[in-house]
Structure 1
Amino acid sequence: MPAVKSLRLRAGVLSAALLLFVLGVWYLATAPKATQRVVLTADQIEYAKLMGKDPSAQTTESAKSSFPTLGDMASTIGKQLSNPFYDNGPNDKGIGIQVAYSLGRVGLGFGLAVLVGIPLGFLIGMSPLAYRALDPFIQVLKPISPLAWMPIALYTIKDSSISGIFVIFICSIWPMLTNTAFGVAGVRREWLNVASTLQVSPIRKAIEVILPAAAPTILTGMRISMGIAWLVIVAAEMLVGGTGIGYFVWNEWNNLSLANVIFAILVIGLVGMALDLMFAKAQKAVTYAD
């Protein structure tokens, strides 16, 4: 235990040092430099007049990076978190509402994938015939990009929100299905033989023998699938629009608010990390030492 605590402490110090290094580089890269003279061409002067700007005011400028500074980010984060659930219309919602919409879609799509993928994985793992019959279809459908499914979903379903849920379902089902099949097929033969000797019914054998033995592998597949689902929803919402964290990123980019884009990226990463930790704890809870 002391060795584990020491390792965690050193890892924490190293993580903090890396964070400070990144923030230091960010600060230096965005720090304003000396004012310099800028010579505008005739085309630039004409463009400035068309945009309603004074060309003479642009002949001197502070050579400041257009990338948000740490101060800009602190201000943006404080503003967004001060009222995360405000709703001022279709294109102006708080970050809390946007994340809630995304999590709702992910939950529905992922839940459907669980309902289909785990039972089908059991069937494939327990039946060599089903494995040989379904494996070609799985291998063809598994590597298809989620964005490739979106046009088909929009054309057939004709609802952007449901189309996003469908894309999450179709892309997150494969890791869950294949890991479930692998875990079921890898259950020790002697355990199955004992269940057969005791004349345990197939349903009871699946629930009381196979499921506990295959649970760590099944949860590994679910953990991978959740990561894919959260990744897919951001890309899907950029395409379909409306609401969600992906749409928030795209809308803020169109508004040229790079600070809000970076803030949304941080939120996406933190939510994804929280979801992964949740499945990691569940996986650890069902893993038994031999």
Structure 2
Amino acid sequence: MNAMLKPDSAEPVSAGTDSSAASATATATRRPRRPLAANGTARARKQVSAHVVKYVAPLMGAALLVLIWQLITINNSNFPTPAATFAEAAKLLADPFYRNSPNDQGIGWNLLASLQRVGVGFGLAALVGIPLGFLIGRVQFISAMFSPIISLLKPVSPLAWLPIGLLVFKSANPAAIWSIFICSIWPMIINTAIGVQRVPQDYMNVARVLNLSEWKILTKILLPSALPFVLTGVRLSIGTAWLVIVAAEMLTGGVGIGFWVWDEWNNLNVPHIIIAIGAIGLVGLLLEQALMALARAFTYEQVSN
């Protein structure tokens, strides 16, 4: 009897299995599938939205700025209109490197003179500030020694340093470079020190186990780990240096974009002042974008296990 019951007991199981498979097949058949055309449409919309944000939005912002500018000129006849300023810019930029006299030079020469001062002052600040930042971040005694000095001098206005430079150097050009140096050094010191202090302790423990020299610790551990912080400080410092040089040149005179702005104000040439403001902003933007690209090239993502 047991042998005879086996086929009968097996049949219901097989029937149930076939029924479940058929039900699953029917469910899969009834499940709605998203058409390929809908996927393509959604992807196209996303691409269009990205292009609108990237290109159209900045153009709309510029148009809004020009509109506000135009509205300001309605009630102020002394303020040049956008059209008049753009026409003057076309004439000015047609020959930006003319030179009639030491006090009559094109805007290109003035920008180059300012960039040269910024390069010297900023370079000196980097030579002093970055190594000092490593020392402050690495040695606790040096950190305690310099922290009060940095906290005291960092908030001082850039123009407050200019008379000190004139008194010490007896000349306008070194005084302007001194102002750039003393004002752009603080972001590099602070960010470099923070970067060194945030090096993972596991790295330093491995260095002790391997008995690495201080030079190898600096070059193999501290510098690669702190480099993104260093470059952030450099980017902040270049913006500060470019701000300082314009203000310093207004007071010291000579060749430079700051002096050029002040000279055009004395001549009541407002369109040239607006053009200079645009040139100053454009050069500052290019400097910052170049350093941001450099920072992105040396920034890495930590991979978690």
Give the TM-score range, shorter chain. 0.7 to 0.9
Mapping of 1:138-153 within 5 angstroms?
138-153=150-165
The question of whether the paired residues in 2 share the 8 Å contact of 1:99 and 1:244 is answered with yes
Partner of 1:112: 124
Partner of 1:177: 189
5+ residue gaps, structure 1: 32-62
Distance 1:265 1:64, change over 3 A: closer
2:113 aligned with 1:70, yes or no?
no
CA displacement at 1:24 relative to structure 2? 2.5
Question: Equivalent residue of 1:88, what SS?
Answer: strand
Q: Residue 101 of structure 1 aligns to which amino acid in structure 2?
A: A
2:106 aligned with 1:94, yes or no?
yes
The question of whether the paired residues in 2 share the 8 Å contact of 1:160 and 1:240 is answered with yes
2:262 aligned with 1:219, yes or no?
no
Q: 2:215 aligns with which of 200, 203, 206?
A: 203
Q: Residue 94 of structure 1 aligns to which amino acid in structure 2?
A: G
Deviations 1:129-185 (A, max 9, x none): 111111111111111111001111101101100110011000000010010000001
**What's the TM-score once normalised by structure 1's chain length?**
0.85
2:180 aligned with 1:168, yes or no?
yes
Partner of 1:38: none
Question: Equivalent residue of 1:78, what SS?
Answer: helix
Q: Residue 165 of structure 2 aligns to which amino acid in structure 1?
A: A
The question of whether the paired residues in 2 share the 8 Å contact of 1:178 and 1:221 is answered with yes
CA displacement at 1:21 relative to structure 2? 2.1
C-alpha separation in 2, matches of 1:17 and 1:81:
25
Q: More deviation in 1-10 or 270-279?
A: 1-10
**What's the TM-score once normalised by structure 2's chain length?**
0.81
Q: 1:267 aligns with which of 279, 284, 295?
A: 279
2:293 aligned with 1:277, yes or no?
no
C-alpha separation in 2, matches of 1:65 and 1:89:
32
CA displacement at 1:90 relative to structure 2? 1.8
5+ residue gaps, structure 2: 1-42
Q: Residue 60 of structure 2 aligns to which amino acid in structure 1?
A: A
Partner of 1:41: none
Q: 1:256 aligns with which of 256, 268, 287?
A: 268
Q: Residue 27 of structure 1 aligns to which amino acid in structure 2?
A: Q
Distance 1:132 1:29, change over 3 A: closer
Partner of 2:95: 83
Deviations 1:99-135 (A, max 9, x none): 0000000000000000000100000000111111111
Partner of 1:235: 247
C-alpha separation in 2, matches of 1:196 and 1:286:
26
Q: Residue 140 of structure 2 aligns to which amino acid in structure 1?
A: P
Q: Residue 114 of structure 2 aligns to which amino acid in structure 1?
A: S
C-alpha separation in 1, matches of 2:57 and 2:189:
38
Work out which of the two has the higher radius of gyration on C-alpha atoms and give 1 or 2: 2
Mapping of 1:27-46 within 5 angstroms?
27-30=70-73
Partner of 2:201: 189
Question: Equivalent residue of 2:64, what SS?
Answer: helix
2:53 aligned with 1:10, yes or no?
yes
CA displacement at 1:28 relative to structure 2? 4.3
CA displacement at 1:9 relative to structure 2? 3.0
2:175 aligned with 1:132, yes or no?
no
Q: Residue 123 of structure 1 aligns to which amino acid in structure 2?
A: L
The question of whether the paired residues in 2 share the 8 Å contact of 1:29 and 1:65 is answered with no
C-alpha separation in 2, matches of 1:179 and 1:191:
20
Distance 1:197 1:9, change over 3 A: farther
C-alpha separation in 2, matches of 1:237 and 1:226:
17
Select the structure that is richer in helix. 2
Question: Equivalent residue of 1:143, what SS?
Answer: coil
Q: 1:24 aligns with which of 67, 77, 85?
A: 67
